[in-house]
Amino acid sequence: MSVPSAGGPAPAAEPGRSAVPAVEGPSLQQLAELADSYGLGLGADELRSLQGLMAPYLASYTALQELAAQEAGPPGPLRRSWRPGPAENPLGAWAHRTEIPAAGSGALLGLRVAIKDNVAVAGVPMTNGSRVLDGYVPEADATVVGRIVGAGGSIRGTATCESFCLSGGSHTSDSGPVRNPHDPTRSSGGSSSGSAALVAAGEVDLAIGCDQGGSIRIPSAWCGVVGLKPTYGLVPYTGIFAIEMTLDHVGPMARTVADAARLLQVLAGPDGLDPRQAAASPGADYVAAAAGGAGGLRVGLLEEGFNPGGGADPQVLETVRRAARDLAAPGVTLETVSVPWHRHGADIWNAIAVEGVARFMIDGDATGTGWKGLYPEHLQQAYAQARVARARALPATAALYLLLGRHLYATTHGRHYARAQNLGRRLSAEYDRALATVDVLVMPTVSCTARPLPAPDSPIEEVVGRASESGSNTCPFNVTGHPAISVPCGTVRGLPVGMMLVGRRGDDATVLRAAGAVEALYPPPPLPWPPALGPSGPG
């Protein structure tokens, strides 16, 4: 690699505006400490020489500061928002309320939408479920937010999510638990906990969820709504707090398959800012597909998906099997298929998530390096400073990933992460092999109904254990990127059961078609909660 010279003087400051301060390099003492930490064994003369050689690089950094200041756009819109009180928020599902009207007319005209609290809504505070981000207000809308408003949707607020979205339960948010509308003593699932609860309660028609290991599908199953994790990269992740670049997905949650398809139609497609979308190929008519019926479908019951190990409820497994048999009308074939590697999916996901979260979301301040896309500088700086200043506020789930991930990277230098990513290719190929003979794979989204919420004083073992117990069927498809939807297919002891349907990458339309056929047999459950929960404003 050639050594560049400084690219000329920094641009002149605008009249009336002082130049940005110069970016300072390390002192000799700091250089010595850094060199020692890497075992370089450099002497004082060598350190002084290296310090001098840093000058042109630092000049470039200073020039970039001025360029960025000149490129900065106008501040984001001023939007009224408020934290709802208990009377307005009995489920704990709202993070902030707001009223952002539609900016156009289109497929979402007249529909009310909630946005998960890790998605940037300009002018509305974002917490990502944690006190760490208290005070952070995004300056610009995420791509999905702009597309919703432009298509006629009105945004009614941000939905509570789990602390740093590292939980499949609904008990880790610093604002308190999100309660299941079907039984407020039970979990609504996570990490898109508030999104699912608000849709199920009838507070909104649609919601945005994000999914790295099941965070759209688990709460959808437990709250009795529809939740789609689209094909990896189909929907842009721009403007959303990232966890791990290769696992990140964002998608629709809705009362009905038709509404989920309508929202996907608006959200899908490249924005030119998200490298996750390199292989995305939108263009299907998802709305028409959702109404296409089951005729001609080949459905495969995934044998390993019905044998998830301890904690499975036999009634839940049988409910999903019965719904699949009901789907097998004339013209629909139903068979059992086996993908033994499905049992290894959670192991592969664990290795990617543990080291990926530690290195990308925590050490990399949710931006990392090495990818071409829009870097959320405002969020990155706010989070980086707050993460250090409020480290004690990091949740136990984040502490677990951070400490284990750093240890593994320090001792094995990323070998296990690399191995998991490589084995993920084999896992993906095994699902592809099964999907060459059937159109969709079927299994329970979660093998039990919504679990009781842990007590506030539960030990850390229960808090973390309950956060990670529900994703054995869901997380493998975050590794492989296949589209997967949870659709209600019955109840057990009065609580919803979700069927998960998985399709070929890029074939989200067929997944929606199969889900629509299931919904025709098992209509959405009635609203379990009074639709009017309180006043429309802060009072």
Cα–Cα nearest to 253, from 313, 208, 298, 188: 208
Contacts of 286 (CB under 8 A, 6+ apart): 261, 262, 264, 265, 268, 508, 509, 512
CA distance 480 to 501: 15
State yes or no: cis peptide before 220, omega within 30 of 0. Answer: no
CB 202 within 8 A of CB 104: no
CA distance 242 to 244: 6
Active-site residue identified among 81, 170, 173, 191: 191
Cα–Cα nearest to 224, from 445, 501, 495: 495
* Known catalytic membership, residue 116: yes
Active-site residue identified among 215, 220, 428, 447: 215
Rg (C-alpha) for the chain, rounded Å, is: 24
Q: What is the DSSP letter of 131?
A: G
CA–centroid distance for 487 within its chain: 19
Partnered with residue 206 across adjacent β-strands are 113, 254
Active-site residue identified among 81, 116, 130, 486: 116
H or E element at residue 452: none
* 315-348 per-residue burial string, b: 16 or more CB within 10 A, e: under 16: ebbebbbebbeebeeeebebeebebebbebbbeb
**How many C-beta atoms lie closer than 10 Å to residue 183's C-beta?**
18
Q: Which residues participate in catalysis according to the annotation?
A: 116, 191, 215
